[in-house]
Structure 1
Amino acid sequence: MCKDCGCHEGNQRSLLQMGTTTPLLATRKIILSEQSILAKNDNIAASNRNWLTKNNIASVNIMSSPGAGKTFLLEKTLTELNKYKKVSVLVGDQQTDQDYQRLKDHGARAKQINTVSACHLDASMIQKELESFVSPNDDLLIIENVGNLVCPAAFDLGEGKRVAMLSVTEGEDKPIKYPVLFNKADLILISKIDLLPHLDWELDLAHKYIRQINPTAKIIELSAKNGTGLKAWFNFLLEI
């Protein structure tokens, strides 16, 4: 989270030179600052959740490393879900609107959120869009978070469900290296499985590591390229 990367505006810590230590008093101030930041975020997230619940809007927050396949999956998803649901999409990236450009013509209302120097979305960013972009008549809000395995997991946005994505082009041990993201997920997607014949990647080992961190989350193996697992993914979104 931001205590490590310093991306949040509320984090006033100066970077230490390599090999130095943080004085005890400074450490205490840092912890208190971080607690304050997260408490403020959680309060706004609770307000977001209340608004979504009041308006009967289901919501998902999709998180993964960069390049895991979130946007390509959403292109396929929006084309299908538009037949059944009124969907809005919020797309988080530090810069550019390339993902928005890819999604806007797939049947859902989409909007880009540029976080600039921050490496995650936070609840206040979502609150602004609930006030100005998301319609009370929507059925589903999909949030594509900034590609990052650390900070997004620490910041509640007010979403109803959390989705973590792991692609087969990453290490099988990502869930145990970045446990917070996978531990808090309601659903874990293993993506790009069409590439398995070409990779030295152990699917069973990935499942083992996921279950060490999260024994109960639903796991879907899928490929947005060839369609494997997409029906299960669509059903998950239609049923929440």
Structure 2
Amino acid sequence: MTRTAAAPGHAVTVRGLTIASRTGTLVHGIDLDVSAGAAVGLVGESGSGKSLTLRSVIGLLPRGVEITGGSVGVTGRLGMVFQDPSSALDPLVTVGSQVMEVCRHVRGMTKAAARRRAVELFEEVGIPDPERRLRSYPHELSGGQRQRVVLAVALAAEPDVLLCDEPTTALDVTVQAQVLALIERLRVDRGLTVVFVSHDLAVVSQVCSTVSVMQAGRVVESGTIDQVVGAPQHPYTRTLLDAVLEIPEAGAP
């Protein structure tokens, strides 16, 4: 696999990406273009290859899985937001220390400057009483607060591209909406490029302007959110939409 700079005007460019394990090919030669400053979604059921595609961009594939063909081009620094904040955060280290560590080792800050920056990042992601929360351990925070900490850790590296791997799956509907709104605000305020992976087209449509639908390691449909949600062309896309429409609203009989 070749790593290059992204195409002009793009933050991420993927060409012919193939990913395999000992059991066979998992992602089959896909292409992906992400314009700088855009929010692009990858959506599909479990096993569709969407998370593997995302992780290939940052080079964090699971053990026994490797890129066997194609190229990945990236312009700028990458940050990653993981699905489960409980496993993404070290349970034995305060959340403030985990943000400060990135500031010191990636940005080269002094300990005092890193602490000030950690407070600023906690404020930016909406963690109340940030000075006090720096001293908290992950288990002392709610699920939504832990995911905000994970966002702060990613932002501490001052990324140009934010890779989000189903970051709201473990959250209840209300907190999920808050985190999605936060990601969109951060994208606009910071000029970030966002690549957002989810199994839920409804979630992706709240954050992204374009989407690629993946099934069995292949992109089966791509387009703007309005095109894909409003007039899906592939039967699998229609199946994903039907699954969303069949979920009853809270309080519905």
TM-score, with length taken from structure 1: 0.34
TM-score in terms of structure 2 length: 0.32
Greater strand share, structure number: 2
Structure of greater relative contact order (alpha carbons < 8 Å, 6+ residues apart): 2
